[in-house]
């Protein structure tokens, strides 16, 4: 068993981005700029935002964090998004999810300028990605692809099973890996809560690659996978003890895997790295850079 080390891969991508940015700045351009909007006080969101801001600095970017109160009205948040959309000095915008319940998240995502949508959640980007066109790809799914690429994991022609169909992880990764992309051309099965248990087991037991994003600690057990499987654990679950674990019963399952992502230090790091790639691409688009 070998680890798919998200930190190592992310560090290498960030170093590469940093070099590119240094070159642009030497050439007289301003730095790329990422804006993050954080609504309310949600401990996990605080930590994700901190990581995004820190990593943007390591990438050579500038960034700013706009903190808004939990009680903000949807119309006020939409107005703030319009301000950032109209600001030519910002290349990428993230509205940290989840949002308070009184705000319709899809309305918010739809309001982000697709050219600044570095999360890749806007329907225009999601649609283009689905059609195999140039787009900002949803960051977690893109990060998984970059991690598989970094470790030269064969994907073309492989059978991949995705567990969980969220719009931010399960759905986009299933589309991306089945598309005719550089990192793709797998045969993909997407499973969800209505997938009968026996069918789920039939699928996961013959899968070459299993990607799990359900948010249930210990969901994937050794009896669910074959020897030599590549296992990608997207889950980030906080136990009462404060420990962070994924969706895989890691100690029991890891010996059966050829490759497996740790939690933490796996997909989470890659999500942030993919956001930086998308921000750099948004900046390059703004300045017509190759």
How far is residue 101's CA from residue 99's CA, in Å, rounded to a whole number? 6
Given a contact cutoff of 8 angstroms between Cβ atoms, the answer to whether 186 and 159 are in contact is yes
Give residues in contact with ligand NAP (CB under 6 A).
140, 163-166, 168-170, 191-195, 213-215, 234-237, 267-268, 271
Is 52 one of the annotated active-site residues of the chain?
yes
Read off the tokens for 70: 């939990």
Question: For 176, how many CA atoms within 13 A lie in the half-sphere containing its CB?
Answer: 29
Minimum Å gap between C-beta 191 and ligand NAP is: 5
Would you say 24 or 219 has its CB closer to ligand NAP?
A: 219
Minimum Å gap between C-beta 248 and ligand NAP is: 11
What are the CA-CA distances from residue 214 to residues 6, 52, 136, 247 (Å)? 19, 23, 24, 7
- Tokens 């009462």 correspond to what residue? 240
Minimum Å gap between C-beta 271 and ligand NAP is: 3
Would you say 21 or 161 has its CB closer to ligand NAP?
A: 161
One DSSP character per residue, 166-219 reads: -TTTHHHHHHHHHSSSSS---EEEEE-TTS-HHHHHHHHHT-SEEEE-S--TT-
Would you say 93 or 162 has its CB closer to ligand NAP?
A: 162
Would you say 111 or 270 has its CB closer to ligand NAP?
A: 270
Local structure of 244: helix, strand or coil: strand
Local structure of 153: helix, strand or coil: coil
Minimum Å gap between C-beta 206 and ligand NAP is: 17
Is 83 one of the annotated active-site residues of the chain?
no
| From 91, 113, 117, 119, active-site residue | 119
Is 117 one of the annotated active-site residues of the chain?
no
Minimum Å gap between C-beta 77 and ligand NAP is: 21
| From 96, 116, 208, 233, active-site residue | 96
Would you say 20 or 205 has its CB closer to ligand NAP?
A: 205
Question: For 258, how many CA atoms within 13 A lie in the half-sphere containing its CB?
Answer: 14
Residues assigned a catalytic role: 52, 96, 119
């Amino acid at each position: 068993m070998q680890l798919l080390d998200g930190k190592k891969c992310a560090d290498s991508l960030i170093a590469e981005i940093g070099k590119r940015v240094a070159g642009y700045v030497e050439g007289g351009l301003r730095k790329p700029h990422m804006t993050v909007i954080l609504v309310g006080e949600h401990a996990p969101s605080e930590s994700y935002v901190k990581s995004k801001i820190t990593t943007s600095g390591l990438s050579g970017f500038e960034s700013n964090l706009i903190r808004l109160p939990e009680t903000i009205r949807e119309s006020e948040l939409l107005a703030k998004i319009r301000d950032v959309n109209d600001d030519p000095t910002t290349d990428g915008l993230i509205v940290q999810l989840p949002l308070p319940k009184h705000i319709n998240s899809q309305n918010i995502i739809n309001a982000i300028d697709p050219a600044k949508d570095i999360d890749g959640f806007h329907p225009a980007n999601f649609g283009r990605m689905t059609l195999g066109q140039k787009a900002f790809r949803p960051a977690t799914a893109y990060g998984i692809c970059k991690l598989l690429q970094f470790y030269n994991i064969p994907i073309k022609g492989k059978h991949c099973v995705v567990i969980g169909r969220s719009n931010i992880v399960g759905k986009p990764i299933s589309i991306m890996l089945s598309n005719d992309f550089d990192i793709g051309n797998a045969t993909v099965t997407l499973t969800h809560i209505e997938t009968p248990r026996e069918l789920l087991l039939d699928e996961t037991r013959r899968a070459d690659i299993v990607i799990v994003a359900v948010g249930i600690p210990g969901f994937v057990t050794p009896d669910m996978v074959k020897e030599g499987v590549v296992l990608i654990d997207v889950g980030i679950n906080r136990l009462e003890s404060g420990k962070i674990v994924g969706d895989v019963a890691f100690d029991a399952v890891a010996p059966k895997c050829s490759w497996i992502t740790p939690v933490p230090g796996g997909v989470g790091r890659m999500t942030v790295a993919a956001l930086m790639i998308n921000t750099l691409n948004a900046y390059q688009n703004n300045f017509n850079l190759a």
